[in-house]
Each structure stands twice: as structure tokens, then as C-alpha cells.
């Protein structure tokens, strides 16, 4: 009998793996015996971050450095996965760009970059991935959303708008491709202790009060560890989660229950 949350037959692609939640997903999936894993990040230190793992899992783990909002990189990481493993079972769109700025103060280039990385990259990904998944008899796409997909918060500006678009894109794609056995789900974390959060706190101009608000905002009284979020991705990627599609799953310490 298979263990719960078995991913030993799965070929997975994940973006934004150099740090935070993506790093925890990568570590968790490798530790749980994923069949194939291709990780993508714009951070040029990527291969250094995973020096040990690239050697320990040399037949199942590959990385690609590049911007996920650039179509040629999307083609590259999908082609790399297909050439190494012959199929893609799970696509995790996790990379994101965030600047903590009010809407009216947001420079146009920040607005555009936020939507290019957080939303347009998912469309470009779908353009090339969906035909493959259809041919392959199905698949799963997991998008990393946020509490900002669902509620407004000061200074979340363009980021919140992009995460709201991601939530609706998830529902839309789930409906559009349900008949092709392609499921589409979003994981929506509350605040997680990652570099992205500390960067936003610095940008807010008052690091301490920004962080205090984040802690106080979660009824559970703390923010999440990346590993707690990665375990939900593990479950969703296993066949145990086979009836879930079109859902924006909150993992937020009660934040949006208030």
C-alpha cells in the first residue's frame, strides 16, 4: 500500500525555489522522494543554494536560472523537464514580485513588473504547458496565492491586485480544463517568515510596526514557517488530493476567518 502523500511517481516543476516557500517546497519534495523535480529562479546564486542537493539527487533534480515572465525561459524550463523526464505532472507557479507601496505612489514600471511576474507568467506558462498536459491525459497546476488574493491590506497595492487576479485565473482555468483532467488550485498563505516579508517591512519605512501588525493580524498569534506551507503543496501534489480543483485554499492562521 502507498504511503499517504506519495509523490514518488510525480514529475514536478516549481518556480521561485531559491528562497522562502519555494525553497521549503524543494527540500520537502526531494526529501519525500519525488520522481523528478525542476526548479526555476531568477536568482543567479540558485545553483550555489542547492550545491549539495544537485549532487545528492543528480538524477531527479535540475535547476534553471531565469525570469519566469520571459516566454523564452518558460519554454526552456518546460523543455528541460520534458527532455529529462518525458512529462510534467505538477506545475507550481510560486515565484512572485512584491513592493509594499500604496497604489497612487506606485511607479508604472513596478505595476507592470508585478503583473508580469505574478500574473502574465501564469498565462505564458499555460500557453505552453496546457497542450502538453492535454496530450498527457491531465495534470495539476498549483498557484501560490495569498491572503492578499482575498482581503485588502495597507501598502499591498499592485501585489494584492495581482494576487486577486491569480485567484480568479485559478478558478477560470479549473473550469476551462476540468474536462481534460487538468486540475488547478491556489494555495493562499497568511504571512510566512521569508525574505519577501522582511523586504516589504523594510520598504514600508517602519520595519517594527509593520512586523508587529503582521503578527497581531493572525489570530493564531504568529506567522507561518515556510515548511508548514510546503506540506500543503506536498498533499496537493499527491493522489490523495484528487478531488480538489478550482479552490483557493487558505493556510493563514485564521487571518481571513476574522
Report, in Å, the least distance between residue 18 CB and ligand NAD.
3
Pick 41 or 53: Cβ nearer ligand NAD:
41
Q: Closest-CB residue for ligand NAD?
A: 20
Query: Residue 121 has which C-alpha cell?
Result: 507568467
Report, in Å, the least distance between residue 41 CB and ligand NAD.
4
Pick 3 or 79: Cβ nearer ligand NAD:
79
Report, in Å, the least distance between residue 74 CB and ligand NAD.
10
Report, in Å, the least distance between residue 52 CB and ligand NAD.
18
CA angle 164–90–169, rounded 5-degree value:
20
Q: Which of 57, 159, 177, 210 is catalytic?
A: 159
Pick 84 or 113: Cβ nearer ligand NAD:
113
Report, in Å, the least distance between residue 149 CB and ligand NAD.
8
Pick 205 or 215: Cβ nearer ligand NAD:
215
Report, in Å, the least distance between residue 187 CB and ligand NAD.
8
First to last CA, the chain: 41
Burial 159-188 (b: 16+ CB within 10 A, else e): bbbbbbbbbebbeebbeebeeeebbbbbbb
Residue 114's nearest CA partner among 74, 73, 158 is: 158
Burial 247-256 (b: 16+ CB within 10 A, else e): bbbbbbbebe
Give contact residues for ligand NAD (rule: CB under 6 A). Answer: 15-16, 18-22, 40-43, 67-69, 94-97, 117, 144, 146, 189, 191-192, 194-197
Pick 88 or 192: Cβ nearer ligand NAD:
192
Residue 159 a catalytic site member: yes
Active site residues: 159
Amino acid at each position: 500500500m502507498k504511503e499517504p502523500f506519495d509523490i514518488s511517481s510525480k514529475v514536478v516543476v516549481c518556480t521561485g525555489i531559491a528562497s522562502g516557500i519555494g525553497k521549503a517546497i524543494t527540500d520537502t519534495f526531494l526529501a519525500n522522494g519525488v520522481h523528478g523535480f525542476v526548479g526555476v529562479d531568477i536568482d543567479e546564486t540558485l545553483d550555489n543554494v542547492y550545491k549539495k542537493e544537485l549532487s545528492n539527487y543528480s538524477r531527479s533534480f535540475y535547476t534553471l536560472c531565469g525570469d519566469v515572465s520571459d516566454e523564452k525561459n518558460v519554454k526552456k524550463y518546460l523543455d528541460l523537464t520534458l527532455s529529462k523526464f518525458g512529462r510534467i505532472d505538477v506545475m507550481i507557479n510560486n515565484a512572485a514580485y512584491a513592493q509594499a507601496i500604496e497604489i497612487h505612489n506606485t511607479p508604472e514600471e513596478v505595476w507592470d513588473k508585478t503583473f508580469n511576474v505574478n500574473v502574465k507568467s501564469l498565462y505564458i506558462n499555460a500557453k505552453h504547458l496546457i497542450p502538453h498536459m492535454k496530450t498527457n491525459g491531465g495534470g495539476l497546476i498549483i498557484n501560490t496565492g495569498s491572503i492578499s488574493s482575498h482581503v485588502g491590506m495597507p501598502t499591498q497595492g499592485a501585489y494584492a491586485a495581482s494576487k486577486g487576479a491569480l485567484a480568479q485565473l485559478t478558478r477560470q482555468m479549473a473550469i476551462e480544463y476540468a474536462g481534460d483532467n487538468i486540475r488547478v488550485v491556489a494555495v493562499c498563505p497568511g504571512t510566512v517568515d521569508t525574505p519577501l516579508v522582511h523586504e516589504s517591512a523594510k520598504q514600508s519605512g517602519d520595519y517594527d510596526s509593520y512586523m508587529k501588525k503582521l503578527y497581531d493580524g493572525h489570530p493564531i498569534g504568529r506567522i507561518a514557517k515556510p515548511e508548514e506551507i510546503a506540506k500543503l503543496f506536498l498533499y496537493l501534489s499527491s493522489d490523495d488530493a484528487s478531488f480538489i480543483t478550482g479552490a483557493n485554499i487558505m493556510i493563514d492562521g485564521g487571518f481571513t476567518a476574522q
